[in-house]
Amino acid sequence: MLKSPSIASTVLIVTLLNGCTPTRVNDKIKLSAPDNWQHAPIVASNAKPVDLKHWWQGFQDPYLDKLSSQTLNANHDLKIAAARVREANAMTTVAESALYPSLDFFASGGREKRLDRIIGVPGKQGIELKTPTGNAISGGLMARWEIDLFGARQLEAEAVSAQATGSIEAKQAMQASLLAQVANHYFELRGLQQRLKIHRETIQVQKEKLRALQAFYRAGLVQIADVARQQAALHSAESVLPTLKAAEDTLIHRLSVLAGQPPGQLMHQLKLAAVPSPELPALPQLLPASLLSQRPDLRLAQTEVSAAAANLGVVRAELFPKLVLSASGGFGALAVGGFSSLAESIYTLGSGLTAPIFNAGRIRAQITATDARLAQVAISYEKTFLLALEDVENAFVAYQSSLDQHGQLLQAEIAAAQAVQASQSSYQHGAGDYVTTLEAQLNQLMLNDAVLKSETAQRVALVSLYRAFGGGWELHEKHS
């Protein structure tokens, strides 16, 4: 007569046949992305695509390339992030191991008296019956397997795997941010070094103007107040120089540390000013929806949603029964002095089924809390996407503003150069005075400084745009 299958066996067969996890929670979130950017400038149709992974190479600055490479290889934050990735991958293996049976070896030894056995021992009055006492040893193998009836262990593994993927995305986000920091600080440094050169020229012209006014004062052509005002202007210009030098050293310290070096390690190399290329690289051409796959912070936010959804499935599974199978087998032996050991085989088979009946609302409260956690990370994902869109739009605005400002300053710089030429010509022909010529030169130097600041702003804005698009890592890079 065939016996009907147990309830646990029926549940197991049905679950395996269905091939699904009844407690699984959907982690898909639909985000609405605009069709186009509001402030993106018009890009020529024949513009070449930009390599977002190595976007800094578009500036054609060998030293920037070198700094970026050093940062990728030696930055300590990236090394810490890489260690976190290795840790997370190892924890994924730990979580996945719960899906399989465990097999352990066991062994024990000691002194033991067997009350269930009687042996004959030679004595003064013949053979005496005694219970054996002696050295006892036992050993064997023990197996245990919790059948994942409702997918709790599978979902736990998926949650940990999502967290491991998130650690990779966090590393990529840090890498993109660090490369943008390196480029921004580098361009600020180069612009500052050029401005230092212009400022030193300004101080020399201020000194020449003071010398001329002092000579005119001795000749009775100007008042002492004119000389005093020029002395104040000179000292004011000289006071800015230490501040610019301090800013230069601070930027070099920051770049050195970002590249994994002591603060002064790159001082000599970075003191050598290099003129940036007048050509700027092309703008990245991506639609707003592309940010979801391109920006690692958005990919990180998606992994947090997946992990939270899997964890919700795990706590829901606590409402259902758990089935555990176990088995062990080995040997045991009792050795009494002078007698052969008494050995026997030992084996056990077992199963256990547990189901919650009363827990004072603990499981329901855990489900509510975990569901709230899922709602939080889902809203955070939506917010992160909106912030990413805002980041790009602001970068476009800053870039366009820097272009417009730079264009106006270039026109002013041209006019200032023409004014210097005109004043010099008038002075040479006796129709102008020397002080007016010097003032025209000072005005030209002031505009040169403003143009340099606007050029730096252009490069910084373009770097911010690449960072906002998630540049600095490869989209299809293998996770390791």
DSSP 312-325: HHHHHHTTS-EEEE
Closest CA to 153 of 347, 353, 317: 317
Q: Is the pLDDT of residue 203 over 80?
A: yes
Query: What is the rounded average pLDDT of the residues 160-174?
Result: 95
Could you tell me the pLDDT band of residue 118, with boundaries at 50, 70 and 90? low
pLDDT of 28 reads 87
Least confident range of 33-42, 47-56, 342-351: 342-351
Enumerate residues 6+ apart whose C-beta is below 8 A from 335: 134, 135, 136, 137, 341, 342
What residue spans of 429-469 are helical by DSSP H? 434-468
Tokens representing 340 are 């052969």
Reading the block at residue 39, the tokens are 């402030």
State mean pLDDT over 125-139: 64
pLDDT at position 125, please? 62
Q: How many CB atoms lie within 10 A of CB 22?
A: 13
Q: How far apart are CA 321 and CA 332, in angstroms?
A: 35
Please tell me the least confidently modeled range out of 21-25, 117-121, 133-137, 337-341. Answer: 337-341
On average, the pLDDT of the chain sits at 85
Least confident of 187-191, 255-259, 329-333: 329-333
Handedness of CA 408, 413, 418, 423 (dihedral sign): positive
pLDDT band at 19 (very low <50, low <70, confident <90, very high): very low
pLDDT digits (tens, 9 = 90+) for 358-417: 888 898 999 999 999 999 999 999 999 999 999 999 999 999 999 999 999 999 999 999
- Looking at residue 226, its pLDDT comes to 93
In the chain, what percentage of residues exceed pLDDT 70?
82
The stretch 345-369 carries a mean pLDDT of 83
Q: Which one is predicted more confidently, 298 or 334?
A: 298
> Which residues lie below 8 Å from residue 220, measured CB to CB, with a gap of 6+?
none
Kindly tell me if the per-residue pLDDT of 127 is higher than 80: no
- For residue 152, which of 309, 24, 304, 26 has the smallest C-alpha distance? 24
Quick check: 445 pLDDT over 90? yes
Does residue 472 register a pLDDT over 80?
yes
Domain 58-99+151-320+355-468: CATH class, spelled out:
mainly alpha
Q: Which residues contact 142 (CB under 8 A, 6 or more apart)?
A: 103, 104, 105, 106, 326, 327, 328
The fraction of the chain above a pLDDT of 90, given in percent, is 56
List Cβ neighbours of 208 (8 Å cut-off, separation of 6 or more): 438
Per-residue model confidence (pLDDT) at position 137: 73
DSSP 150: T
Q: Please report, for residues 453, 454, 462, 468, the alpha-carbon distance to residue 401 in angstroms, rounded to integers and kept in the order given.
A: 13, 10, 11, 17
Residues 61-108 have pLDDT tens digits of 999 999 999 999 999 999 999 999 999 999 999 999 988 888 888 777
Provide mean pLDDT across the span 273-290. Answer: 81
What does the pLDDT average to over 191-211? 95
Residue 119 has pLDDT above 60, yes or no: no
Residue identified by tokens 């029926």 is 10
Mean pLDDT of 350-362: 82
pTM exceeds 0.95 for this model: no
Q: How far apart are CA 246 and CA 242, in angstroms?
A: 6
